[in-house]
Amino acid sequence: MRKAVFWENPRYRSTAALEGDIETRFLIVGGGITGVMCAWYLLQRGISPRDIVLLEARTIGDGSTGRSAGILVTEPENEQNVWWDVLEKKYGKKLIASYQRAHLDALHALKQLIVRGHIACDAEAHYMLILARDAAAAKVLVKDHEARRHAGINTEVLTGRSYASEFGGCGYIAAERDIEGLSVNPLALVQGIAIYLRRKGVRVFEHTPLVRALRGVAKTPRGSIDFEKVIYARGMAERLRGMDTFITTIAITHPLPRRTLRALRLDDRDMFCDAIGNQPFHYGKVTKHNRLLLGFGDIVTDKNVSEAKTHMPHVREILRFLKRVFPTHAFTIDSAWSAGYAISRSLVPLVRIGTGTAVVNGSGIQLSSIVAADYAVAKLLGKKHALDSLWQKSV
C-alpha cells in the first residue's frame, strides 16, 4: 500500500509568487475550493477581474481541498452529522428549504464552471445512497426524506428488493437515494477553476503566504498589496473559535473488473455513506477509473495540520467497513492518505463579516462551503441574501 495522495493533475502549471507592490479592491486569502469560488462569485456579481487578487501560500488545492474525496452532494456539512430533518426542526421549513436550494444552486454553479472552463477533472454525475444499518437508522432516512419533500426536493427510500437491486452491500438494509451529485478529482477541479479565473483576468499568486494584513495593507515575503476588502478562506489556518480540526483518512483500491462492479451493483457508480446520527461515518464512491474510494475519520486534534501521516487505525477501520458492506468480496488497497480539515461546531459553516472583512470556513470540497462563499461575498458587498436569518441564528 502506498502512503500517498491518489489525486494528481500533471498538466497544471502553478503561477509565480508575488514580486513587488500592487493594489486591488478585493483580496482573497486561500486557494482552496472556497477561495476560488469567492473569486467566481465576485465576478458573477459584476466585480471586474482586475479588481480581484487571490493569494495561496503553496499551490492551489494543496490543502484539504486537494486531499478530499471529491464527493459533491447536496447534503449539509456540520460537525454533528445532522441531516435535513434536524435542521428543519431547528430553523423552520421555509428557511431550510432556502438552504437546500442554495446547495442545488452551488452544484449547478460548479457544473457551469466545469463546462465553461473546459475543466478536465473526471467529473461524473452520480447519485448518493445514504445507507441504514438497522431499523432505527431506516426511520431516520424516512424523516430526512420527508424534510426534503417539504422543500420540493424528491428523494427515494429504498428497502427490500428495490435496495438489493440498487446496491450490493448486504451489510445494510435500506438506503435513501439522494438527487444527482458530482464525483470529481478535487485537485484537478480547483486548479481548473483557478486557470479559468486567470483567463478571465483575476490575478492569482501562488507560493505567496500572507505575513500580515493591517489597515488595508497585506504584507507578503516579497511584496505588499493595498486592498479595500479582504476574504479569508484558509480553513484550518484561521485557527478560529467555534471550529474544530478533524483528521480523516481516504483509501483507494486497485482497479476493479467490471464484473465485480456489476456484482456489487456499483457499475452505475453510485456514491454512498452511512452518516446517520451523531457518529463518525464512512463514505465511498467508484472513481472514473473503476477504483473504489473509501473514507473514514473520527479524530479531533488541536494541531494546525493540512496533511498528516497516514493513520493506520483509520485504514484498518476502512477495511472492516468494506468487509461489513461487501462480505463476499476481497479488496486490496493501492494507496491511502490522511489529512486535516476544519469544520464549525454550529450546524452551518462558519462565516464572520466585519468592516471590509469576511472569514469563511474554507476547508473541504463540500457544497456547504460553496454556499458559504456565496453568502460571504454578498455580505461583503452589502447585499441582502436569502440565508441572512440562517447565519444570524447560528451565531
User: Taking residues 132-155, what's their average pLDDT?
Assistant: 87
Confidence at residue 188, expressed as pLDDT on a 0 to 100 scale: 98
User: Taking residues 174-181, what's their average pLDDT?
Assistant: 91
Angle among Cα 17, 305, 3 to the nearest 5 degrees reads 95
Confidence at residue 309, expressed as pLDDT on a 0 to 100 scale: 84
CB count, 10 Å around CB of 154? 10
Is residue 279 classed exposed, middle or buried when 0-12, 13-18 and 19+ CB atoms within 10 A define those classes?
exposed
Residues 6+ positions from 388 with CB-CB distance below 8 Å: none
Confidence at residue 365, expressed as pLDDT on a 0 to 100 scale: 65
Report d(CA 129, CA 123) in Å as an integer. 18
- Which of 3-12, 15-24, 360-369 has the lowest average pLDDT? 360-369
**pLDDT above 60: residue 278:** no
Q: Which is more confident, 150 or 292?
A: 292
**What does the DSSP 8-state code read for residue 245?**
E
Among candidate residues 69, 55, 82, the one with its CA nearest the CA of residue 5: 69
User: Taking residues 346-375, what's their average pLDDT?
Assistant: 88
Cβ(258)–Cβ(306) below 8 Å? no
**pLDDT above 70: residue 263:** yes
Share of the chain above pLDDT 70, in %: 93
C-alpha cell at 176: 435513501
**pLDDT above 60: residue 277:** no
Give me the domains of the chain, ranges plus CATH numbers. 127-180+242-343 (3.30.9.10)
C-alpha cell at 105: 444552486
Cβ(214)–Cβ(27) below 8 Å? no
User: Taking residues 224-237, what's their average pLDDT?
Assistant: 91
Share of the chain above pLDDT 90, in %: 67
User: Taking residues 237-260, what's their average pLDDT?
Assistant: 86
Confidence at residue 280, expressed as pLDDT on a 0 to 100 scale: 62
H helical segments located in the chain: 33-44, 84-91, 93-116, 135-150, 160-166, 186-200, 258-263, 312-325, 367-380, 388-394
User: Taking residues 110-133, what's their average pLDDT?
Assistant: 94
Cβ(250)–Cβ(187) below 8 Å? no
User: Taking residues 148-171, what's their average pLDDT?
Assistant: 88
**pLDDT above 90: residue 340:** no
Report the SS3 class of residue 345: coil
Report d(CA 236, CA 340) in Å as an integer. 8
Confidence at residue 5, expressed as pLDDT on a 0 to 100 scale: 94
Angle among Cα 364, 369, 370 to the nearest 5 degrees reads 120
Average model confidence (pLDDT) across the chain: 90
Tell me the pairing of strands 52-55 and 203-205: parallel
Give residue-wise pLDDT tens across range 44-102: 999 999 999 999 999 999 988 999 999 999 888 776 667 788 888 899 999 999 999 99
**pLDDT above 60: residue 123:** yes
